[in-house]
Amino acid sequence: MNSFRSNLSTTGDNILVPVNLHKNIHNSSNFTFEANIEDLTMLNKNVPKQLRGTYLGAVSPWMLEFYEKSGIKELQFMPVLQAQDEKHLVNMGKVNHWGYNLSDFKHVTTRYATQSNKAEDEFALMVEKLKSSGISTILDVAHNHVHEDQAHKFNLWSRDKNFSGCCNTLNLELESQRVLDSLKYLAQFGIDGFRHDLAPVLCREGDGDFNPNSKLMNQMLNDSVLGKLSHSGEPWDLGCNGKSGYHLGEFPQKFTEHNDKFREDIRQFFIGHLSAKQIGYVLMGSQEHFPNLNVSNFINVHDGYTLYDLVRTHEKQNWANGEDNRDGDNHTYYLNSKGGLSNEQNERRRDLATAGMFMALGCSLGHHLSTVHDLVGHSKGGNNNSYCQNNSINWIDYETIENGGSKKHIYDKYTQIVKHSQDVIAPFNKACLEQKLGSHWDWTGEKSCTLTLDAPGGHKLETHIGFDEVCTSKYSINGQTKSEISSNYDN
């Protein structure tokens, strides 16, 4: 393999960029799929054993074929910068599997490399192979705090301003250049964008006040290199000392925000706790918060239940984390069994509910975020905080989606929804931004509704959403049906 450094050219900002990776292909998909490098292939017998859990394993021939078959056009990788395990995890013989505890801002981790001295080469090759396959690469970055052993090297907020919840919270008003340098280091590899963990920390200035136009945010979004990439993230941190941590809809237009209001409303509706009249706002892209549709709707990401577990878990099952089940979120979205139905029939209801959630996601205005775990119906056994589980709790078992597999029906249905969404949603997002979108709601009681969208050129999308019933979506142009799907697993 050629050295990564030998394949670099220099931009006007003296930033090295792989010569064959200049083309940024972000926004070729309206669906982003989150993944952890190890989780993707550790259990995949179709990937050579020496490549499982590595950068190269993620782009092995079987995986590239899987992405294409699944309709995956954009992958968002959990942190790939060098990280360090917390001491309490080391003492328990565990690791920080998710990699959010950074120790080095300017080196990709050797953990996912087949050869530790070739980590950059192998990471660059992964990005290049994905791009050659039409798949863009988004990187999750956590510049809000550092590992305790590295804390003395950085300017930190005082402990009473613990916005990250991890004590060693960086004061990014003072460390902005270090973050910019880190992002530019990663941009060298030809990646397409960033997802920023606890994004308000990037905007804390003065006495910890939130300023969406902070020095760092302005520099990042307007930089000649970084400004051409996509930027998204959580519009919340922990807040403290009277400083609010919740800032939905307050970030600049160029920054796409994760919409937890969509997550909560759709979850509540599909377990029967919310009226159909209350979900219209989020299906329409939460436009009062996001008039420019700089919104990323989602139902689940890494921190929480998988979609499969969401409606099947009475109480979190985090015992394996070694904290007596105290960690993680205590909310439950269990879909109660219905009297008179068999266990199998109630399981079918839960499948129908999660397919309905996924369809609501794919047919909503804005951008869509999901996980590879959810696409294949992965279960973590009810663990909703699997940050320290480098094992089968997190590793994806692809045998379950092969012929005869217990999750094949889920994978097939969700893949249909993804492809339908990618085929149909773009003209309606465009019409919305141009203020040319027509919409009509038809409520058929408290538990179901039909949303009809009309866009110039005869484009029409009719989506029926209902609790405890089959959801449908039909896309037509000038009256001719182009794509039609339902949440019914029988078709």
- Mean pLDDT calculated for residue range 353-367: 97
What pLDDT is stored for residue 443 in this prediction? 86
Q: Could you give the CA distance from residue 485 to residue 385 in angstroms, rounded to a whole number?
A: 33
234 counts as catalytic: yes
451: β partners: 441, 463
Length of the chain equals 491
- Mean pLDDT calculated for residue range 272-280: 94
- Mean pLDDT calculated for residue range 376-404: 97
Q: Which residue has the tokens 């249905």?
A: 413
Show the CA angle centred on residue 177, arms to residues 173 and 180, nearest 5°.
110
143-155: pLDDT as tens digits: 999 988 888 889 9
Q: Is the pLDDT of residue 39 over 50?
A: yes
What pLDDT is stored for residue 241 in this prediction? 86
- Mean pLDDT calculated for residue range 66-90: 96
Confidence of residue 7 (pLDDT cuts 50, 70, 90): very low
Expressed in angstroms, the distance from the first to the final Cα of the chain is 46
254-264: pLDDT as tens digits: 999 999 999 99
Structural domain includes residue 485: no
| Residue 222 neighbours by CB distance under 10 Å | 11
Confidence of residue 363 (pLDDT cuts 50, 70, 90): very high
Structural domain includes residue 456: no
316-332: pLDDT as tens digits: 999 999 999 999 999 99
Nearest to 454 by CA among 443, 465, 475, 439: 439
Confidence of residue 1 (pLDDT cuts 50, 70, 90): very low
Q: Could you give the CA distance from residue 270 to residue 318 in angstroms, rounded to a whole number?
A: 24
Structural domain includes residue 467: no
Phi, psi of 190 (to 5 degrees): 85, 20
68 counts as catalytic: no
- Continuous segment of H or E residues that includes residue 409: helix 408-424
**Which whole-number Å values give the CA distances from 44 to 76, 260, 370, 395, 401, in the listed order?**
20, 32, 21, 9, 12
190-211: pLDDT as tens digits: 999 999 999 999 999 999 999 9
Structural domain includes residue 482: no
- Mean pLDDT calculated for residue range 166-182: 94
**Which whole-number Å values give the CA distances from 459 to 117, 434, 475, in the listed order?**
53, 15, 7
Nearest to 389 by CA among 166, 101, 94, 36: 94
Show the CA angle centred on residue 264, arms to residues 263 and 267, nearest 5°.
85
Q: Is the pLDDT of residue 8 over 50?
A: no
Q: Which residue has the tokens 């109480």?
A: 315
475: β partners: 461, 483
Structural domain includes residue 198: yes
What pLDDT is stored for residue 315 in this prediction? 97
451-462: pLDDT as tens digits: 999 999 999 999
What is the chain's alpha carbon radius of gyration, rounded to the nearest angstrom?
22
Instruction: State the sign of the Cα–Cα–Cα–Cα dihedral 25, 26, 31, 37.
Output: positive
What pLDDT is stored for residue 28 in this prediction? 53
Structural domain includes residue 446: no
- Mean pLDDT calculated for residue range 484-490: 93
Instruction: State the sign of the Cα–Cα–Cα–Cα dihedral 212, 214, 216, 218.
Output: positive
What pLDDT is stored for residue 490 in this prediction? 81
Task: Region of 54 please: left (phi>0), alpha (psi -120 to 50) or beta.
Answer: beta
* DSSP labels, 19-87: TT-----TTS-SEEEEE-HHHHHTT-TTS-GGGTTSTTGGGSHHHHHHHHHHT--EEEE---B-B---H
429-443: pLDDT as tens digits: 999 999 999 999 998
Nearest to 291 by CA among 250, 230, 326, 242: 250
Number of domains the chain contains:
1
What pLDDT is stored for residue 16 in this prediction? 39
Model-level pTM? Answer: 0.94
Query: Which domain CATH number covers 178?
Result: 3.20.20.80
235-256: pLDDT as tens digits: 999 999 899 999 999 999 999 9
- Mean pLDDT calculated for residue range 201-230: 97
What pLDDT is stored for residue 12 in this prediction? 40
Q: Provide the domain limits for residue 321.
A: 4-436
Show the CA angle centred on residue 183, arms to residues 181 and 185, nearest 5°.
70
What is the average pLDDT score of the chain? 93
What pLDDT is stored for residue 183 in this prediction? 98
Q: Could you give the CA distance from residue 403 to residue 142 in angstroms, rounded to a whole number?
A: 39
On whether the CB atoms of residues 472 and 463 are closer than 8 A, the answer is yes
Structural domain includes residue 56: yes
289-320: pLDDT as tens digits: 999 999 999 999 999 999 999 999 999 999 99
| Active-site position among 140, 234, 237, 462 | 234
407-430: pLDDT as tens digits: 999 999 999 999 999 999 999 999
What pLDDT is stored for residue 273 in this prediction? 96
230: β partners: 193
| Active-site position among 85, 173, 197, 397 | 197
Burial 412-437 (b: 16+ CB within 10 A, else e): ebbbbbbbbbbebbebbbebbeeeeb
Confidence of residue 10 (pLDDT cuts 50, 70, 90): very low
- The HSE-up count of residue 105 (CA atoms within 13 Å, CB side) is 20
Confidence of residue 135 (pLDDT cuts 50, 70, 90): very high
On whether the CB atoms of residues 225 and 187 are closer than 8 A, the answer is yes
Structural domain includes residue 491: no
Strands 438-443 and 448-455: antiparallel
Confidence of residue 4 (pLDDT cuts 50, 70, 90): low
